[in-house]
């Protein structure tokens, strides 16, 4: 069981979006908060990312910046340039002007709006991957392939682009976890064989009535050791995470299947539809049926 892939699959909703933008200096573009994650890649030229109340981040050719929670920000060709655009559907892909040319690849992913996952919650608002020779070659390859498909669409591009976007999200997260040192947070959970084994058990069979002794036996450590190391890295005790994963799985089933509530309850380990509905509403603030209807109307995400 690949924990990272399973986690992203559980919280991803809708379809990823992407676009290429050409701007000539001076230019400035505002990106409001989106219900998901987003990224920018500078393919030509340079720009500055300005977060609200934060220090500007200089971006050059090949740089990738990832916003795991879709934080609002501005992009400008240089500090002092006015912000005259708002990222929204239907805007022009290219604006001609007198100054230096910048080419940007931007993308966004819809994520579950009512409930996130601690794997993403612990990440910083902006993650910058500078273009350094030899670093994160798979991420660089995905960027190049995506840029090629968007620049010159060919037969099959409609199928290739969403797949490349999904792949790029995983490569971005993999690159982040690869860079972390000290084994803290979810990077530590992936690196700890005992914690990883317990997580795989929960992900593989969320319907099972897991106990801490059973999980510790699967992990090959004592109950106290697993509880301590699991809580320190994942951010909550094993059985609390089990409940979280059950409800995230249930939310995915509500979004993506027509299964009845009783069937979903059984699949995620609840003995009755009533118990499931009560737990779901406590976490999501909506009854399961209300959640399903709300998720039938995904928001528009502009890139």
Apex 160 CA angle, 155 and 163, nearest 5: 170
Beta partners for residue 67, in sequence order:
38
- At 166, list the tokens: 């999904």
Query: pTM of the entire structure?
Result: 0.89
Q: In the chain, which stretches have pLDDT less than 70?
A: 1, 113-115, 182, 296-303
From the list 169, 196, 170, 184, the residue with the least C-alpha distance to 122 is 184
Residue 159: predicted pLDDT: 93
Beta partners for residue 129, in sequence order:
64
* Phi, psi values for residue 205, rounded to 5°: -145, 70
Helix (H, G, I), strand (E, B) or coil at 180: coil
Structural domains of the chain sorted by starting position, each given as residue range(s) with its CATH number in brackets: 3-179 (2.60.120.280), 186-295 (1.10.10.60)
Calpha distance 108→38 (Å, rounded): 4
Please check whether residue 229 is in contact with residue 195, taking contact to mean a CB–CB distance below 8 angstroms.
Answer: yes
Residue 296: predicted pLDDT: 65
Calpha distance 92→108 (Å, rounded): 18
Calpha distance 303→297 (Å, rounded): 19
């Amino acid at each position: 069981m690949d924990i990272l892939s399973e986690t992203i699959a559980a919280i991803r909703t809708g379809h990823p979006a992407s676009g290429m933008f050409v701007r000539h200096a001076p230019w400035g573009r505002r990106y409001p908060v989106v219900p998901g994650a987003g990224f920018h890649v500078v393919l030509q030229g340079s720009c500055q990312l300005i977060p609200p109340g934060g220090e500007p981040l200089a971006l050059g050719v090949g740089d990738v910046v990832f916003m795991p929670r879709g934080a609002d920000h501005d992009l400008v060709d240089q500090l002092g340039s006015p912000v005259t655009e708002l990222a929204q559907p239907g805007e022009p892909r290219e604006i001609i002007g007198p100054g230096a040319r910048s080419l940007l690849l931007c993308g966004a992913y819809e994520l579950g709006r009512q409930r996130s996952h601690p794997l993403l919650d612990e990440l910083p608002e902006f993650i910058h991957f500078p273009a350094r020779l030899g670093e994160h070659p798979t991420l660089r390859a995905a960027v190049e392939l995506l840029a090629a498909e968007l620049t010159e669409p060919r037969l099959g591009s409609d199928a290739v682009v969403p797949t490349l976007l999904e792949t790029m999200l995983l490569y971005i997260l993999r690159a982040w976890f690869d860079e972390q040192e000290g084994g803290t947070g979810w990077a530590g959970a992936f690196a700890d064989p005992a914690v990883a084994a317990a997580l795989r058990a929960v992900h593989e069979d969320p319907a099972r009535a897991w106990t801490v002794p059973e999980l510790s036996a699967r992990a090959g450590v004592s109950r106290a050791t697993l509880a301590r190391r699991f809580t320190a890295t994942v951010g909550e005790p094993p059985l609390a995470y089990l409940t979280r994963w059950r409800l995230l799985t249930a939310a995915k089933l509500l979004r993506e299947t027509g299964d009845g509530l009783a069937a979903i309850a059984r699949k995620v380990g609840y003995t009755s539809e009533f118990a499931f509905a009560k737990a779901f509403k406590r976490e999501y603030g909506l009854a399961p049926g209300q959640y399903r209807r709300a998720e039938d109307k995904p928001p528009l995400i502009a890139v």
